[in-house]
Structure 1
């Protein structure tokens, strides 16, 4: 999923930023939107590589660490005028799903 979010930041940056919870300025934010897209794309690809070529514990530890990203995104949205619904409904919920997935991988 995060791979598609990253790609959206490349092809529809303004819409992706709005979906993130902090709409971008019409000018001046293009580099940051590209950075966000690249970060998400690479994170997703690393996760896929670990799932495909590593053991479940390595993938689980990756997911535990990666959960820091949506937790940080929650704070970023709240500090920059985004709604609590987006901050918690998208970003904090994503962190919870990632951590649950990590727990399932540890149990595998």
Structure 2
């Protein structure tokens, strides 16, 4: 049962990264607003973020499939640094605390929980 929950949560988190990446690639301005800091650029940086997020999601799925739970758990621990950094970015650039902590920090916490479940499975 624990293994199914661990793998299921990891798959959902990775697919969510792919979704976020695709959203930044296909609808960059609304995606940036949802991130917590509206974009004031030509879109190149938003495309970079989209590509980064989608790639991390695909890499996570590949690790889970090919290398197994331990590799995916370490991946989750390391990649959780991204939403922690995003928390600080949103706070530093005038975003709301609700977005910073309710979306980004909470995402990091869920990723650490996912890693713990994967290590335990």
TM over 0.5: yes
Structure 1 segments unaligned to the other structure (5+ residues): none
Deviations 1:20-53 (A, max 9, x none): 000011xx34110000000100000000001111
Count residues in correspondence.
Answer: 106
The normalised TM-score by structure 2 is: 0.86
Structure 2 segments unaligned to the other structure (5+ residues): 1-15
Structure 1 position 68 matched with structure 2 position 81: yes
The normalised TM-score by structure 1 is: 0.96
Supply the RMSD in Å over aligned alpha carbons: 0.6
Distance 1:53 1:10 in 2: 27
Equivalent residue in structure 2 for 1:52, among 61, 65, 79: 65
Deviations 1:47-88 (A, max 9, x none): 000111112111100000000000000000000000000000
After TM superposition, the runs of 4+ consecutive aligned structure 1 residues lying more than 6 A away are: none
Structure with more contact order per residue of length (Cα contacts < 8 Å, sep ≥ 6): 2
